[in-house]
Amino acid sequence: MRRLCLPIRGPRLLPKAGAAALAVLCVLCSVCALGFPSLRSGPPEAVRVPDRASRVTSEVLRLTVEAEEARHRYEEAQHVARAHKVRAQEIDRRLQGRRAVSDTLREDLGSAARAQYRTGGFTTVPADDAEADDPFELMALQLPDARRRARLAWMLDEDDRKSRSLVAEEQELIAEQVSADKDRAQLQAHVRAVEARLTAARADLDTMAQGAVESGRCTPLPLDRAAAGGGTAKDQAVAQANGRWTRPVTSYQLTAGFGGVGANWASTHSGQDFAVPSGTPVRSIGAGTVVATGCGGAFGISLVVQHDDGWYSQYAHLAAMFVTPGQQVRAGQWIGMSGTTGNSTGPHLHFEIRTSPEFGSAVDPVPWLNARGVRL
């Protein structure tokens, strides 16, 4: 008899029940042959997406800090280059002045020597023959001229010494400029490389944000404080130093204002737009509580903060959120990253001040912030 999955002992025929059991075992053996899913397989896509989004946001934050530091070092190198240029111009001006003085001194000294040669060694003519016969009188007459020639010679030597010092300083400056120009070129290349990586990371962030909106899973992400490089703590310290309120973003350009009309809005524009690159940290303008978050629609990824005085601030078109509803926030705290989700034509932050959490209760945020000491 053939062996079916398990060895069958003896030549006896099996009863019907035994045959049925064997059939089940054969099916199980077939399943085993096909293989079960590996227990070491990766997490499902729903788990991997937030993890990847966290890595992307951390990369954007890290590269933003790195790019800012690189630009700062390059600007310092530019400042050094400008200082070198000013110093070189000053040295050149002083050298030209020294050359003019040297030319004048040499001309005066040459004139005195030629006059002495023409008069046989005497540049002052005696008044009468009696004086011409007295050697002491002749020496007395020549003394002022001798002193003048000696003075001219000393001045010429001193001017030559200063000119040589300036030339040495100029050569030292040229060597410094060559080294500084090399460093500056390297810094410029580094800035371009970091900015290229940052641009790619921002594009990846926008893609992830758009995917989150389309899937309806705009999960708040943890803020990587190490990647932020202490920026969030710095912003909070600045906000506390300035008072209760602060700007929602830094290094921005104001674009569409409150009440504007256009094809992008169903009625009028309900807030103030800040043009900033994707991935720019968005800060809570004041202390309060996160009362709502959004994922999709015209505002894309958005959130609303209720402040202690009953006003509400809204932040829209985000690429990521760092807070959840019910969370307490402080003035200057990073609550998200700017993006271009929702009804948006490019990376920016849409910011509103509202009298309630709902759309339609907005007031002009610019005078509202101005009244609280925040100038945009």
- Domain that residue 14 falls in: 1-38
pLDDT at 144: 59
- HEC string of 266-291 equals CCECCCEEEECCCCCEEECCCCEEEE
Residues 203 and 55 in one domain: yes
Closest by CA to 55, choosing from 199, 201, 200, 193, is: 201
Residues 62 and 193 in one domain: yes
- Is there a domain that residue 43 lies in? no
Q: How far is 330 from 204, CA to CA, in rounded Å? A: 29
- Is there a domain that residue 203 lies in? yes
Tell me the sheet residues that pair with 314: 304, 352
- Is there a domain that residue 359 lies in? yes
- Is there a domain that residue 376 lies in? no
Number of domains in the chain: 3
- CATH of residue 168's domain is 1.10.287
Query: What one-character-per-residue DSSP string does 66-126 give?
Result: HHHHHHHHHHHHHHHHHHHHHHHHHHHHHHHHHHHHHHHHHHHHHHHHHHHHHTTT--S--
| Digitized pLDDT (tens) for each residue of the chain, 376 residues in all | 444 444 434 444 444 445 554 454 444 444 444 443 433 344 444 335 567 888 999 999 999 999 999 999 999 999 999 998 888 888 888 888 777 777 776 776 666 666 665 555 555 555 555 454 545 454 454 555 667 667 767 777 877 887 888 888 888 888 888 999 999 999 999 999 999 999 999 999 999 999 999 999 999 998 887 777 666 666 667 766 666 899 999 989 999 999 877 666 567 889 999 999 999 999 999 999 999 999 999 999 999 999 988 999 999 999 999 999 999 999 999 999 999 999 999 999 999 999 999 999 999 999 999 999 999 9
Residues 268 and 167 in one domain: no
pLDDT at 113: 62
- Is there a domain that residue 217 lies in? no
Q: How far is 145 from 365, CA to CA, in rounded Å? A: 85
Residues 65 and 199 in one domain: yes
Q: How far is 362 from 316, CA to CA, in rounded Å? A: 13
Q: Which two tokens stand for residue 38?
A: 């590996």
pTM above 0.85, yes or no: no
